[in-house]
Amino acid sequence: MVIKKRRIVWDNIAKEYIKNSLQHIKQDSPQNADKVKNTINLKIKEIPDNPERYALDKYRLNNEGSYHAFEIYRFRISYFVNDSEIRIVRIRHTNQIPLKY
| E-only strand ranges, 6-84 | 7-10, 67-72, 75-81
Residue type at position 65: G
The reported pLDDT for the residue numbered 99 is: 77
- Residue ranges of the domains in the chain? 7-93
Q: What is the value of pTM for the model shown?
A: 0.90
Confidence of residue 2 (pLDDT cuts 50, 70, 90): low
In the chain the first and final C-alpha atoms are separated, in Å, by 37
Q: Which CATH number is 7-93's, of 1.20.1250.20, 3.90.226.10, 3.30.2310.20, 3.20.20.450?
A: 3.30.2310.20
pLDDT digits (tens, 9 = 90+) for 45-72: 999 999 999 999 999 999 999 999 999 9
